[in-house]
Amino acid sequence: MGLVYLVQHAEKKAGPGDPGLTDAGREQARNAARWLRTRGANRLYTSPLRRARETAEVIASELGLVLALDPRLRERVNWDGTTALKTFLDDWRRSVMDRDFSPPCGDSSRKAGERMRAFLEEVSLQHNAVVAVTHGGVTTDLIRTLLGDDQIPARLLDDGIPPCAVTTLTDMQVTEIASVEFS
């Protein structure tokens, strides 16, 4: 097994679909990349969604790594604008409270957490230090899967994971959750 840094994508532009990063988001990605540069990562994966890909491209440039797309890193549900935002948010909240609820256009929290666990088990066996750029909801789902619902910090369920926060796992054990300390 190995070391995995799960990076929440940087700040994205507002709106439905698959928006890219804001200028502030690009700077967040550069800060995260500078911190990651000293961590010895030898492999970089990213969700196929644009906001994660753009974050990963900044990190790849700083670390000199080639990025690989992996659909298992995608968010469990993504608002595409075909439903009202209120309906999407209601479904999101329901899926946070009921881990087995599958929103009409996505995965349940439990399924997403298991998908992430399978990804981590595979890459941890193949590489010593991995960076994986992903999304806040699915990272929270993974943490809930690994630690249990009673161990998840309430702030993650209420506020989500901050842009470019890094969650660190060592040998499939969560060692740091949603850190934004890049000094």
What the chain holds in terms of domains, given with CATH numbers, is: 3-179 (3.40.50.1240)
DSSP letter for 45, please. E
User: pLDDT tens digits, residue range 97-155?
Assistant: 999 999 988 999 999 999 999 999 999 888 889 999 999 999 999 999 999 998 888 88
User: pLDDT tens digits, residue range 53-112?
Assistant: 999 999 999 999 999 999 999 999 988 989 999 999 999 999 999 999 999 889 999 999
Report d(CA 57, CA 64) in Å as an integer: 10
Instruction: Report yes or no on whether pTM surpasses 0.75.
Output: yes
